[in-house]
Amino acid sequence: MKIFARLGILIPLILLGSACGDDSQEGGACVPGELGCECNMGSCLQGLDCVGNICAQPGPGDGDSGETIGGDGDPTGDGDPSGDGDGDPTGDGDGDPTTGDGDGDDCEPGLMLCGDECVDLNTSDDHCGECDFACDIALGLIGGCDNGTCEPSLTECLSGDPDPIPCEDICSSMGKTCAPDSCNGATLWTAASQNFCIDNGTPVAGPCSFPNEPIAWYRCCCQQ
């Protein structure tokens, strides 16, 4: 009788222990570091990510430094806190904090930084088409930059008496090309004196073989 009494006590305890074991596996307390459980001092098991102190399946990330949320060491997943992926807080994608035009400098869109100045390469006489490419300007109005290209302009004043050199040769010696009838409709400008040539002159149309006879002073029209 005593044996059966003891069995009557042990059997319920065994069944209760079995039930408790099932509860711990299915709905019991989480093990820190496992999926869906709290992180274990900021870490998780089996390659899981610690997100909000909960272990979760890894997200897509961005693959740039192995940080578990986005792969880059910040919570946005791009390397800077703004979420644009360029390392500056403006969200422009070019690494400069001001304009957001994608070229990495502080100039407004359409302008280029040449030295310490933002310029329009289409119209800048000192930076035409590219930085530091200056256009010649004669008499304050002939030449200059237009749409990124230097317009034809006049050379310095030349003496043409007694043996003038044709404009095609003058321009060529300067690494330029003679531009017939392109400087206010003229191929060369002539003058009776050097002072008048410097400040003014008389436009003369004609071929690049001009001047072909003695002339006091003249300037040729050349294209850079």
Instruction: Kindly report, residue by residue over 81-107, the tens digit of the pLDDT.
Output: 555 555 555 555 555 555 555 555 689
Within this chain, do residues 174 and 219 fall inside the same structural domain, yes or no? Answer: yes
Summarize the confidence of residues 35-55 as an average pLDDT: 89
User: How far is 55 from 39, CA to CA, in rounded Å?
Assistant: 6
What's the pLDDT at 105?
A: 61
Summarize the confidence of residues 44-65 as an average pLDDT: 76
Q: Is residue 7 part of a domain?
A: no
Number of independent structural domains in the chain? 3
Within this chain, do residues 128 and 178 fall inside the same structural domain, yes or no? Answer: no
Within this chain, do residues 140 and 161 fall inside the same structural domain, yes or no? Answer: no
Q: 3-class SS at 87? A: coil
What's the pLDDT at 28?
A: 62
Summarize the confidence of residues 35-52 as an average pLDDT: 88
Within this chain, do residues 121 and 159 fall inside the same structural domain, yes or no? Answer: no
Within this chain, do residues 129 and 179 fall inside the same structural domain, yes or no? Answer: no
What's the pLDDT at 11?
A: 40
Q: Is residue 127 part of a domain?
A: yes
Q: What domain range includes position 63?
A: 32-71
**Distances 172 to 71, 222, 223 between C-alpha atoms, Å:** 60, 9, 10
Residue 71 reports pLDDT greater than 70: no
Within this chain, do residues 146 and 157 fall inside the same structural domain, yes or no? Answer: no
Within this chain, do residues 199 and 169 fall inside the same structural domain, yes or no? Answer: yes
Taking the model in full, what pTM does it have? 0.55
pLDDT in tens, 111-158: 999 999 999 999 999 999 999 999 999 999 999 999 999 999 999 999
Within this chain, do residues 113 and 146 fall inside the same structural domain, yes or no? Answer: yes
Within this chain, do residues 165 and 118 fall inside the same structural domain, yes or no? Answer: no
Q: Is residue 61 part of a domain?
A: yes
Within this chain, do residues 219 and 157 fall inside the same structural domain, yes or no? Answer: yes
What's the pLDDT at 23?
A: 39
pLDDT in tens, 145-200: 999 999 999 999 999 999 999 999 999 999 999 999 999 999 999 999 999 999 99
Residue 19 reports pLDDT greater than 50: no
Q: Is residue 185 part of a domain?
A: yes
Q: Residue 118 belongs to what H/E stretch?
A: strand 117-119
Place of tokens 């596996």: 25
